[in-house]
Amino acid sequence: MTKNDGLEESAPSQPHYHGHRDRLRERFATVGGAGLQDYELLELLLFRLLPRRDTKPIAKAMLDKFGSFSEALGAPPHLLEEIDGLGPTAITDLKVILAAAQRIGRDAIKNKPILSSWSEVIDYCKAQMAYEAKEQFRILFLDKKNRLIADEVQQTGTVDHTPVYPREVIKRSLELSATALVLVHNHPSGDPAPSSADIQMTRQIAEIAQPLGISLHDHIIIGRSGHASLRGMKLF
């Protein structure tokens, strides 16, 4: 007699979600990401980060809380911590994935004339800033062929204000030998409509830059609901 009284030990059963994971991977291989819903794509990301958890309810909880795939990935860590099942390691890994996606976006506009790939520029700015909890003011510095020299965050402010100093903007432009600029900042409220302060600051920078041979192509305001172009609105 064995210790199991002659009965063979049964193999441990697989968790119920393993078959689901295999099926979802097969669907992705067949139809790609465009054929999956937001929660399914989030599940696929979470499979690797949480190999011993059922990730479907976690993915759905993230979407319920944040609203979309992009907002879930861009949510600040302290809010992600409120999702049951997401710990510090998984949250850090999500931020690595976000950073990788942002880097891909930057590379898509690098070494291209900015003005001929404007939709990619807008997409890049949205990926970088649309879901930030605080205002950021960043500058795309361009060379004489309107190719990207540098993309720098100049200031980070509060939820509704970022201090911007026009002379510092011009000083940095001269240091980089930039001949054109695109200003970008986000509105965490979601509404990209420019404020009177946004308009005044843009005009100040344009006025200082022009005599120095530096063109201000645009000032783009990014919000969750879209974007606004001060040049397109003829505000400077």
- Burial (Cβ within 10 Å: 0-12, 13-18, ≥19) of residue 173: buried
**Per-residue pLDDT of the chain in tens (236 residues, 90 and over written 9):** 444 544 444 444 556 566 678 888 889 898 988 889 999 999 999 998 998 889 999 999 999 999 889 889 988 899 999 999 999 999 999 999 999 988 888 887 887 788 888 888 998 898 888 888 889 999 999 999 999 999 999 888 755 566 788 999 999 999 999 999 999 999 998 899 999 999 999 999 999 999 999 999 999 999 988 999 999 999 99
- Cβ neighbours, 10 Å, residue 18: 11
Structure tokens that stand for 188 in this block: 């965490």
Q: How far, in Å, CA of 121 to CA of 137, rounded?
A: 15
- Where is 104: in which H helix or E strand? helix 88-109
Write out pLDDT tens, residues 132-179: 888 999 999 999 999 999 999 988 875 556 678 899 999 999 999 999
Q: Measured between alpha carbons, how far is residue 117 from residues 71, 95, 127, 147, 223 in Å? A: 25, 27, 16, 10, 20
Q: Which residues make Cβ contacts (< 8 Å) with residue 232, sequence separation at least 6?
A: 218
Q: What is the pLDDT of residue 13?
A: 54
Helix (H, G, I), strand (E, B) or coil at 53: coil
Q: What tokens were used for 227? A: 């974007």
Tokens representing residue 69 in the block: 């795939």
Cβ atoms 202, 219 nearer than 8 A: yes
CA of 42: how far to CAs of 19, 32, 69, 91, 151, in Å?
17, 13, 7, 13, 29
Which is nearest to 45 in space by CA: 59, 66, 64, 31? 59
Inter-CA distances, 85 with 52, 55, 60, 64, 123, Å? 11, 8, 12, 15, 31
Angle at which helices 118-129 and 88-109 pack, to 10 degrees?
160
87: Cβ contacts below 8 Å, ≥ 6 apart: none
